[in-house]
Protein backbone atom coordinates (compact mmCIF):
# COMPACT_ATOMS: atom_id res chain seq x y z
CA UNK A 1 0.00 0.00 0.00
CA UNK A 2 1.45 3.33 -1.12
CA UNK A 3 0.90 6.40 1.06
CA UNK A 4 1.00 10.06 -0.01
CA UNK A 5 1.12 13.28 2.00
CA UNK A 6 -0.69 16.20 0.35
CA UNK A 7 -0.45 19.66 1.88
CA UNK A 8 -3.35 22.03 1.37
CA UNK A 9 -5.67 19.11 0.78
CA UNK A 10 -8.97 20.57 2.01
CA UNK A 11 -9.95 22.22 -1.29
CA UNK A 12 -8.93 23.01 -4.85
CA UNK A 13 -5.97 21.22 -6.41
CA UNK A 14 -5.04 19.51 -3.13
CA UNK A 15 -8.52 18.05 -2.71
CA UNK A 16 -8.63 16.86 -6.31
CA UNK A 17 -5.18 15.30 -5.88
CA UNK A 18 -6.25 13.44 -2.74
CA UNK A 19 -9.29 12.07 -4.55
CA UNK A 20 -7.24 11.06 -7.60
CA UNK A 21 -4.69 9.30 -5.41
CA UNK A 22 -7.51 7.41 -3.72
CA UNK A 23 -8.91 6.32 -7.09
CA UNK A 24 -5.54 4.76 -7.83
CA UNK A 25 -5.42 2.87 -4.54
CA UNK A 26 -3.02 5.22 -2.77
CA UNK A 27 -3.78 6.17 0.84
CA UNK A 28 -3.62 9.85 1.76
CA UNK A 29 -2.54 12.03 4.66
CA UNK A 30 -3.83 15.50 3.78
CA UNK A 31 -3.24 18.72 5.65
CA UNK A 32 -5.38 21.77 6.28
CA UNK A 33 -4.88 25.06 8.07
CA UNK A 34 -8.21 26.85 8.48
CA UNK A 35 -10.87 24.50 7.16
CA UNK A 36 -11.06 21.40 9.34
CA UNK A 37 -14.63 20.66 8.23
CA UNK A 38 -13.66 20.72 4.56
CA UNK A 39 -10.65 18.50 5.21
CA UNK A 40 -12.76 15.96 7.09
CA UNK A 41 -15.25 16.00 4.21
CA UNK A 42 -12.43 15.17 1.80
CA UNK A 43 -11.32 12.29 4.03
CA UNK A 44 -14.85 10.94 4.05
CA UNK A 45 -15.15 11.26 0.28
CA UNK A 46 -11.84 9.51 -0.32
CA UNK A 47 -12.68 6.63 1.97
CA UNK A 48 -16.27 6.16 0.78
CA UNK A 49 -15.53 6.44 -2.93
CA UNK A 50 -12.23 4.57 -3.15
CA UNK A 51 -11.95 2.29 -0.15
CA UNK A 52 -8.47 3.48 0.86
CA UNK A 53 -7.69 5.11 4.19
CA UNK A 54 -7.27 8.85 4.57
CA UNK A 55 -6.37 11.18 7.44
CA UNK A 56 -6.57 14.97 7.82
CA UNK A 57 -3.98 16.74 9.99
CA UNK A 58 -3.69 20.43 10.84
CA UNK A 59 -0.58 22.20 9.56
CA UNK A 60 0.32 25.88 9.35
CA UNK A 61 3.14 26.25 6.83
CA UNK A 62 4.24 29.55 8.39
CA UNK A 63 4.93 27.92 11.78
CA UNK A 64 8.18 26.06 11.15
CA UNK A 65 8.64 25.41 14.88
CA UNK A 66 5.66 23.02 14.70
CA UNK A 67 7.08 20.84 11.94
CA UNK A 68 8.93 18.46 14.25
CA UNK A 69 5.71 17.78 16.14
CA UNK A 70 3.81 17.37 12.86
CA UNK A 71 6.37 14.81 11.67
CA UNK A 72 5.93 12.85 14.90
CA UNK A 73 2.16 12.94 14.41
CA UNK A 74 2.54 11.60 10.87
CA UNK A 75 4.79 8.80 12.14
CA UNK A 76 2.19 7.84 14.71
CA UNK A 77 -0.56 7.60 12.09
CA UNK A 78 1.69 5.64 9.75
CA UNK A 79 2.28 3.11 12.50
CA UNK A 80 -1.28 2.96 13.87
CA UNK A 81 -3.19 2.82 10.56
CA UNK A 82 -0.80 1.32 8.03
CA UNK A 83 1.78 -0.47 10.20
CA UNK A 84 4.47 1.51 8.36
CA UNK A 85 7.42 3.64 9.42
CA UNK A 86 7.76 5.35 6.03
CA UNK A 87 5.60 6.94 3.33
CA UNK A 88 6.03 7.09 -0.44
CA UNK A 89 4.93 10.40 -1.94
CA UNK A 90 4.88 14.07 -0.95
CA UNK A 91 2.85 16.74 -2.74
CA UNK A 92 3.87 20.23 -1.60
CA UNK A 93 0.65 21.90 -2.72
CA UNK A 94 -0.30 24.15 0.20
CA UNK A 95 0.04 27.85 -0.51
CA UNK A 96 -1.63 31.23 -0.73
CA UNK A 97 -2.10 33.82 -3.46
CA UNK A 98 -3.62 37.22 -4.01
CA UNK A 99 -2.11 40.30 -5.63
CA UNK A 100 -0.50 43.37 -4.11
CA UNK A 101 1.11 46.04 -6.24
CA UNK A 102 4.80 46.61 -5.58
CA UNK A 103 4.41 50.25 -4.51
CA UNK A 104 1.82 49.16 -1.93
CA UNK A 105 3.52 45.95 -0.81
CA UNK A 106 3.89 45.48 2.93
CA UNK A 107 6.50 43.43 4.71
CA UNK A 108 3.71 41.41 6.33
CA UNK A 109 2.28 40.48 2.91
CA UNK A 110 5.71 39.54 1.55
CA UNK A 111 6.61 37.44 4.59
CA UNK A 112 3.29 35.61 4.44
CA UNK A 113 3.83 34.68 0.78
CA UNK A 114 7.46 33.74 1.49
CA UNK A 115 6.73 31.55 4.50
CA UNK A 116 3.68 29.79 3.08
CA UNK A 117 4.79 29.27 -0.51
CA UNK A 118 8.54 28.72 -0.17
CA UNK A 119 10.20 28.66 3.25
CA UNK A 120 7.53 26.48 4.85
CA UNK A 121 7.52 23.78 2.15
CA UNK A 122 11.33 23.70 2.11
CA UNK A 123 11.66 23.01 5.82
CA UNK A 124 8.63 20.73 5.93
CA UNK A 125 10.24 18.61 3.22
CA UNK A 126 13.46 18.55 5.25
CA UNK A 127 11.56 17.01 8.18
CA UNK A 128 9.48 14.57 6.16
CA UNK A 129 12.06 13.28 3.69
CA UNK A 130 13.95 11.72 6.60
CA UNK A 131 11.33 8.98 6.73
CA UNK A 132 10.24 8.94 3.10
CA UNK A 133 10.78 5.58 1.47
CA UNK A 134 13.71 5.33 -0.93
CA UNK A 135 12.45 5.29 -4.53
CA UNK A 136 9.72 7.76 -3.48
CA UNK A 137 8.67 10.91 -5.30
CA UNK A 138 7.95 14.57 -4.56
CA UNK A 139 5.86 17.00 -6.60
CA UNK A 140 5.94 20.72 -5.82
CA UNK A 141 3.10 22.96 -7.01
CA UNK A 142 4.65 26.08 -8.50
CA UNK A 143 2.91 28.41 -10.97
CA UNK A 144 3.06 29.53 -14.58
CA UNK A 145 3.19 33.09 -13.16
CA UNK A 146 6.91 32.58 -12.58
CA UNK A 147 7.35 33.08 -16.33
CA UNK A 148 4.80 35.88 -16.69
CA UNK A 149 4.51 39.42 -15.37
CA UNK A 150 0.96 40.16 -14.28
CA UNK A 151 0.75 43.38 -12.20
CA UNK A 152 0.46 42.70 -8.48
CA UNK A 153 2.14 39.31 -8.52
CA UNK A 154 5.81 40.29 -8.22
CA UNK A 155 6.24 38.59 -4.84
CA UNK A 156 4.08 35.57 -5.67
CA UNK A 157 5.66 34.93 -9.07
CA UNK A 158 9.21 35.47 -7.82
CA UNK A 159 8.80 33.07 -4.91
CA UNK A 160 7.17 30.44 -7.13
CA UNK A 161 10.21 30.79 -9.38
CA UNK A 162 12.41 30.20 -6.34
CA UNK A 163 10.38 27.09 -5.51
CA UNK A 164 10.89 25.83 -9.05
CA UNK A 165 14.65 26.41 -8.86
CA UNK A 166 14.81 24.69 -5.46
CA UNK A 167 13.10 21.68 -7.06
CA UNK A 168 16.12 21.14 -9.29
CA UNK A 169 18.61 21.42 -6.44
CA UNK A 170 16.79 19.03 -4.16
CA UNK A 171 16.30 16.56 -7.02
CA UNK A 172 20.09 16.40 -7.30
CA UNK A 173 20.61 15.94 -3.55
CA UNK A 174 17.97 13.22 -3.18
CA UNK A 175 19.00 11.30 -6.29
CA UNK A 176 21.31 8.94 -4.33
CA UNK A 177 18.17 7.67 -2.58
CA UNK A 178 16.36 7.32 -5.92
CA UNK A 179 13.80 9.92 -4.82
CA UNK A 180 12.51 11.90 -7.78
CA UNK A 181 11.59 15.57 -7.33
CA UNK A 182 9.54 17.45 -9.91
CA UNK A 183 7.24 20.45 -10.05
CA UNK A 184 3.92 21.16 -11.74
CA UNK A 185 3.04 24.72 -12.72
CA UNK A 186 -0.70 25.47 -12.94
CA UNK A 187 -1.95 28.24 -15.15
CA UNK A 188 -5.26 29.97 -14.31
CA UNK A 189 -7.26 27.30 -12.48
CA UNK A 190 -10.73 27.43 -10.93
CA UNK A 191 -9.56 26.50 -7.46
CA UNK A 192 -9.63 28.31 -4.12
CA UNK A 193 -6.73 30.51 -5.23
CA UNK A 194 -6.89 34.03 -3.84
CA UNK A 195 -9.56 33.01 -1.33
CA UNK A 196 -11.93 31.89 -4.09
CA UNK A 197 -11.41 34.83 -6.40
CA UNK A 198 -13.11 33.16 -9.39
CA UNK A 199 -16.23 32.39 -7.36
CA UNK A 200 -16.36 35.96 -6.08
CA UNK A 201 -15.54 37.50 -9.47
CA UNK A 202 -16.69 35.16 -12.26
CA UNK A 203 -16.14 37.99 -14.70
CA UNK A 204 -12.39 37.28 -14.42
CA UNK A 205 -12.82 33.84 -16.01
CA UNK A 206 -13.73 34.81 -19.58
CA UNK A 207 -10.66 36.94 -20.42
CA UNK A 208 -8.33 34.30 -18.97
CA UNK A 209 -10.15 31.53 -20.83
CA UNK A 210 -9.68 33.45 -24.06
CA UNK A 211 -5.91 33.40 -23.44
CA UNK A 212 -5.89 29.59 -23.51
CA UNK A 213 -5.71 27.69 -26.80
CA UNK A 214 -8.57 25.51 -25.52
CA UNK A 215 -10.83 28.41 -24.57
CA UNK A 216 -11.23 27.63 -20.87
CA UNK A 217 -9.36 27.90 -17.58
CA UNK A 218 -8.16 24.82 -15.76
CA UNK A 219 -10.07 22.73 -13.27
CA UNK A 220 -8.45 21.19 -10.18
CA UNK A 221 -8.90 17.74 -11.70
CA UNK A 222 -6.74 18.75 -14.69
CA UNK A 223 -3.84 19.38 -12.34
CA UNK A 224 -4.52 16.41 -10.08
CA UNK A 225 -4.20 13.88 -12.88
CA UNK A 226 -0.84 15.29 -13.92
CA UNK A 227 0.45 15.42 -10.34
CA UNK A 228 -0.49 11.81 -9.64
CA UNK A 229 0.96 10.62 -12.94
CA UNK A 230 4.25 12.42 -12.25
CA UNK A 231 4.40 10.68 -8.87
CA UNK A 232 3.87 7.30 -10.50
CA UNK A 233 6.47 4.91 -11.87
CA UNK A 234 5.32 5.89 -15.37
CA UNK A 235 7.49 8.99 -14.81
CA UNK A 236 10.31 7.01 -13.23
CA UNK A 237 12.91 8.47 -15.57
CA UNK A 238 11.84 12.09 -14.99
CA UNK A 239 13.30 14.29 -12.25
CA UNK A 240 14.20 17.96 -11.71
CA UNK A 241 11.52 19.12 -14.17
CA UNK A 242 8.84 21.80 -13.86
CA UNK A 243 5.89 20.88 -16.09
CA UNK A 244 3.50 23.67 -17.03
CA UNK A 245 -0.13 22.53 -16.89
CA UNK A 246 -2.00 25.55 -18.21
CA UNK A 247 -3.93 24.45 -21.29
CA UNK A 248 -1.64 26.50 -23.49
CA UNK A 249 -2.23 29.72 -21.56
CA UNK A 250 -0.63 32.64 -23.43
CA UNK A 251 0.81 30.21 -25.98
Catalytic residue annotation: 156
Cα within 13 Å of Cα(26), Cβ side: 23
What Cα–Cα distance (Å) separates residue 92 from each residue in 83, 121, 213, 237?
A: 24, 6, 28, 20
Nearest in space to 14 (alpha carbons), one of 70, 92, 100, 69? 92
Nearest in space to 141 (alpha carbons), one of 191, 175, 102? 191
**Are the beta carbons of 220 and 12 closer than 8 angstroms?**
yes
Q: Which residues contact 130 (CB under 8 A, 6 or more apart)?
A: 71
Amino acid sequence: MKIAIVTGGSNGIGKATALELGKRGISVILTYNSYKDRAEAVVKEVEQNTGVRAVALKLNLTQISTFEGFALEVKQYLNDIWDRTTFDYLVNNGGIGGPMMFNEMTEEYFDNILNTNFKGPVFLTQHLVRFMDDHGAIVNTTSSSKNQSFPGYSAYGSLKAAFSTWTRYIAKELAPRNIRVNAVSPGPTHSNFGDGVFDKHPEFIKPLAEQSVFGRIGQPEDLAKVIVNVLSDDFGWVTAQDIEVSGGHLL
